Amino acid sequence: MKFPTPLVRGTLLKRYKRFLADIQFPDGSEITAHIANPGAMLGLNAPGSEVWLSKSDNPKRKLAYSWELIKVDGVLVGLNTAWPNPLAAEALAAGKIKELQGYKSVRREVKYGINSRIDLLLQDDAKPTCYVEVKNVHLKRGSTPGAVAEFPDCRTERGAKHLRELTDMVVAGHRAVMLYVVQRGDCDSFTTADDLDPIYGKALREAMAHGVEAICYDCRVTTESIDWGRPLPVEL
């Protein structure tokens, strides 16, 4: 997935009110950018960090710039939670997710459960319908090698709700998959951040015990694109 327009480099001054960040450009000018990320962004919001922004030409937008990437320990990390869904759909169409190959039909944002929409609905006459929920991952607290990607980075009642709904789909005779998309390339495995949200970790283990599958892939992140990467083992 290539960024629609060239990204602009800046320096992070501060993040605040969850969705706002003040950025300084190399010429000394400062702007406020939007952050499409409601999480805590642990380790990814240190003032002075090198960041990369996209700019919208839409005159109706209150903030023209969006914060896309941050460089941490020499590694670019994607922050925009809007990208994992199209990334997964693109990878699925290209046959890059081996666990989800062989379906004739792929639909996005289909209503199911209780006031929910499934990110990807895979259908084929010869297979059970497959419900795929996509989650963005960017948290890493260990050092390489052997670094672990973790989810979530703060409490998420919505995430636990999605796991219960996926379990209901399995009980109804369908297939259900949690797909974790790690927007960085410096991790070697995936697990749940049980110290940050023990309820979610417990919910995922219970869902998997009932047949919900959990798979994880990382990404190759550059200032030009975010591309589908390697499968990471899920270790709970």
pLDDT at position 114: 82
153 φ, ψ (degrees, to nearest 5) = -100, 5
Which among 2, 7, 43 has a CA at the least distance from the CA of 25?
Answer: 7
Tokens of 200: 């979610």
Q: Where are the domains of the chain?
A: 8-78, 84-232
Contact between residue 65 and residue 31 where contact means Cβ atoms under 8 Å apart: yes
Please name the helix (run of DSSP H) or strand (run of DSSP E) that holds residue 204, with its range, or none: helix 198-209
pLDDT tens per residue, range 122-181 = 999 999 999 999 999 999 997 767 799 999 999 999 999 999 999 999 999 999 999 999
pLDDT tens per residue, range 71-109 = 999 999 999 999 999 999 999 999 999 999 999 999 999
- Please state, in angstroms and rounded to a whole number, the distance separating the CA atoms of residues 129 and 173: 9
CATH number of 84-232: 3.40.1350.60
Amino acid found at 91: A
Please name the helix (run of DSSP H) or strand (run of DSSP E) that holds residue 202, with its range, or none: helix 198-209
Quote the pTM value. Answer: 0.96
Tokens of 148: 């672990």
Amino acid found at 80: N
CATH number of 8-78: 2.40.50.580
Which among 47, 15, 10 has a CA at the least distance from the CA of 27?
Answer: 10
